[in-house]
Chains A and B, each alone.
Chain A
Amino acid sequence: MSGDWAGDGLPPAAAARIAEVRGSGTWSSALSTGEFAALRAVGFEPVGQVMGSAVYHVGRSGRYWGYHDCLYGGMQYAFSSEPAPVALSGRGAPSAGLIEVLDRARRSALDRMTAECSALGGDGVVAAQLTVAPFVAQPNCLEFKVIGTAVRAAGTVRAPEPFTCHLDGQGFAKLVTAGWVPVELLYGMSVGVRHDDYRTRAQMRSWSNTEVSGWSELVQAVRSDARAHLRAQTGRRGGDGVILSAGGLRIWGESCMRRSSDDQKDHVAEATLLGTTVARFTAREEPPRTLTVMPLDPERRRRTMRRTATDMR
């Protein structure tokens, strides 16, 4: 089954599997029994496990790629007091190229998954899990993989384009019951680079309490840029809101590539956000009201305890 494949449509192996599943009518799914029951209760049934994958070569840090250029202008003077800017991917800094290629890779993985879903006659994918992992044989290649369960709605109305969401079966069922339908899984990302300027270095070494204002500015800018990146994509298919599932922030120091003669440093921050857009619809019937219950088994009570506001991460 391993003919030459130019990257259009589904890989031959995937196309063959989908044809086989479609022909036999036997579906597979990674849903738990509870999720399965929840889906059926709101009128959806699984049609098969679907997957999309793309391996990309992504060079990241280092002078050659130049993505982490801090764009600091005050570099020619050894003791410049000029404040350093934040070089943000969303504002056209060199890191925008990196974001663009990562976007493209994720998009092709997602498109391949939805192509499988459409081929199976599904209306959407639930419990889609998006992972990015280094390719084993060659760590500078990244595999973007997304895997989920394709579902089909009861009735004759078909979705024009499959929906995708990160929600599990129960979450999806609760959402649909309350009159919300997921639209699309989105990923927002931003990279910001800021030179550790004179002021930052002074604040770091201070004896008294002080905010490291440059770094606060860096993480603030990167997080809001990641949100803007996510928001910009919501326009593609529309919707009423985004339910976020996870967000992360990484920040690390790198030696400044604008100047290798001494040990000047930059800080690089990378913020990510994963979420699903949802759209409101009016169901014909009143959604059920929430019922207050008091669980009688201690295990369950412990699990439903509130999360703490002061989680140390």
Chain B
Amino acid sequence: MTVFNPADGTSDGMSAQGVPADAMRRLAELQPGKPGSIFTSDLSVNEFLLVREAGFRPIGLVLGSSIYHVGIQLGRWGKNQELTTLSQAMYHARELAMTRMEAEAAQLGADGIVGVRLSVEARDFGSDIAEFIAIGTAVKADHPAPGSNGGSWRNLKGQPFTSDLNGQDFWTLIRAGYAPLGMVMGTCVYHIAHQRMGQMFSNIGKNVEIEQFTQALYDARELAMARMQHEAEELRAEGIVGVQLNAHNHRWGGHTTEFFAIGTAVRPLREDHVIERPTMVLSLDG
């Protein structure tokens, strides 16, 4: 740490001393600018700086949103089944939000969108209606992409790449020689059968597996993951990183659940995928 001396000039040569003066000088030079020439980004300071260091410039906050009325479908009381109407709704609404966000980014001439958050918000719309929203920061690369893709960072469909990784993960990914292709997702809304009376009675006082429930959870998760896998294959991805598999109940009661898998599909930028060996740190503050 530098010793601070407020009376000091800038010629001292201590590492931080010149910096505040440079910063203040910049403030003095500021011109009331054209509003159009300024980027916005909803990245945190850490993320902003890391994305810059990874060789990308933020060019604007982009978002897409869709307020969607989910149709009505009831599962049969005693049957394990996918509720296809609801699955389609969850898929379609998210797709709409993502597409609108990508369209905004494409309009800005972005190479990609980082730090995407995809969420469902019930808000005050009444039952069966929710807002599906995708928010991210559009970025443009300083240099063309290395590797086979003709220097383009965009994906096979010519769309900007999307990634739900935060700035830290994004930095590490690029460092390790991978580029994100796009967010891939799979969803499945599943109705889990209720137990029949006879079954319930025969299990009283016993600790047993309810195969029917186990199987239902398996079916639903496998469907969601298979759909995500399929999307990644369509993008010709090498793999998917940061997959999350979540279960959302939304407002459908205990037996109807959405299983939602989401991750970022990646492609290699070069052959080796080694990053410099991290330094171990042991924090002393608690």
Give chain A interface residues in 249-285, CB to chain B under 8 Å. 251-253, 275, 277, 279-285
From the candidates A163, A167, A243, A253, name the one contacting B124 in the complex (CB within 8 A).
A253
On whether the beta carbons of A43 and B48 are closer than 8 Å, the reply is no
A237 CB within 8 Å of chain B? yes
A294, B34: Cα distance in complex, Å: 43
Knowing A235-B34, A241-B38, the reply to whether A178 touches B26 (Cβ < 8 A) is no
On whether the beta carbons of A313 and B71 are closer than 8 Å, the reply is no
On whether the beta carbons of B279 and A292 are closer than 8 Å, the reply is yes
From the candidates B4, B19, B172, B248, name the one contacting A176 in the complex (CB within 8 A).
B19
Knowing A40-B4, A42-B20, A155-B8, the reply to whether A240 touches B39 (Cβ < 8 A) is yes
A210 CB within 8 Å of chain B? yes
On whether the beta carbons of B38 and A242 are closer than 8 Å, the reply is yes
Give chain A interface residues in 124-163, CB to chain B under 8 Å. 152-161, 163
A197, B88: Cα distance in complex, Å: 26
On whether the beta carbons of B171 and A309 are closer than 8 Å, the reply is no
From the candidates B27, B31, B69, B125, name the one contacting A163 in the complex (CB within 8 A).
B27
A175, B120: Cα distance in complex, Å: 32
Give chain A interface residues in 183-239, CB to chain B under 8 Å. 183, 203-204, 206-212, 215-216, 219-220, 223, 227, 230-239
By the criterion of a CB under 8 Å from any partner CB, how many residues of chain A are at the interface?
92
B196 CB within 8 Å of chain A? no
Q: Which residues of B contact A157 (CB under 8 A)?
A: 10, 20-21, 24-25, 28
A76 CB within 8 Å of chain B? no
A295 CB within 8 Å of chain B? yes
Give chain B interface residues in 1-45, CB to chain A under 8 Å. 1-2, 4-6, 8-10, 15-28, 30-45
Pair count A-B, CB < 8 A: 265
Knowing A240-B39, A251-B123, A309-B183, the reply to whether A295 touches B281 (Cβ < 8 A) is yes
On whether the beta carbons of B43 and A153 are closer than 8 Å, the reply is no
Q: Which residues of B contact A280 (CB under 8 A)?
A: 26
Q: Which residues of B contact A183 (CB under 8 A)?
A: 27, 30
On whether the beta carbons of A275 and B280 are closer than 8 Å, the reply is no
Closest-by-CB residue of B relative to A40 is B4
Closest-by-CB residue of B relative to A282 is B22
A182, B175: Cα distance in complex, Å: 28
Q: How far is the CB of B192 from chain A (nearest CB, A)?
A: 20
On whether the beta carbons of B279 and A294 are closer than 8 Å, the reply is yes
- Interface-located stretch among A95-103, A112-120, A299-307: A299-307
A311 CB within 8 Å of chain B? yes
A69 CB within 8 Å of chain B? no
Give chain B interface residues in 59-115, CB to chain A under 8 Å. 61, 63-72, 85, 88-89, 92-93, 96, 100
From the candidates B8, B31, B278, name the one contacting A292 in the complex (CB within 8 A).
B278
From the candidates A154, A160, A175, A293, name the one contacting B17 in the complex (CB within 8 A).
A154
On whether the beta carbons of B1 and A306 are closer than 8 Å, the reply is no
On whether the beta carbons of B282 and A296 are closer than 8 Å, the reply is yes
Closest-by-CB residue of A relative to B94 is A310
Most buried by B among A177, A295, A311, A312: A312
On whether the beta carbons of B38 and A239 are closer than 8 Å, the reply is yes
A281, B278: Cα distance in complex, Å: 30
Closest-by-CB residue of B relative to A309 is B164
On whether the beta carbons of A241 and B58 are closer than 8 Å, the reply is yes
On whether the beta carbons of B66 and A211 are closer than 8 Å, the reply is yes
A72, B34: Cα distance in complex, Å: 35
B159 CB within 8 Å of chain A? no
Knowing A42-B19, A220-B65, the reply to whether A293 touches B278 (Cβ < 8 A) is yes
Q: Which residues of B contact A44 (CB under 8 A)?
A: 20
On whether the beta carbons of A281 and B17 are closer than 8 Å, the reply is no
- Interface-located stretch among B49-57, B220-228, B232-240, B265-273: B49-57
Knowing A203-B69, A285-B15, the reply to whether A153 touches B33 (Cβ < 8 A) is no
From the candidates B126, B168, B286, name the one contacting A204 in the complex (CB within 8 A).
B126
Closest-by-CB residue of A relative to B264 is A309
**A-B pairs, 8 with minimum CB distance:** A153-B20, A281-B26, A309-B164, A43-B20, A155-B21, A238-B33, A181-B23, A215-B67
Q: 11 A-B residue contacts at CB 8 Å?
A: A43-B4, A123-B24, A178-B49, A183-B30, A207-B72, A208-B71, A209-B70, A211-B93, A227-B40, A306-B165, A310-B248
Contact surface of A with B, Cβ cutoff 8 Å: 34, 37, 40-45, 123, 152-161, 163, 167, 171, 174-178, 181, 183, 203-204, 206-212, 215-216, 219-220, 223, 227, 230-244, 247, 251-253, 275, 277, 279-285, 289-297, 299-300, 304, 306-313
**Contacts A45-B6, A212-B69, A294-B281 supplied; 5 other A-B pairs, CB < 8 Å:** A211-B68, A281-B22, A294-B279, A306-B242, A310-B262
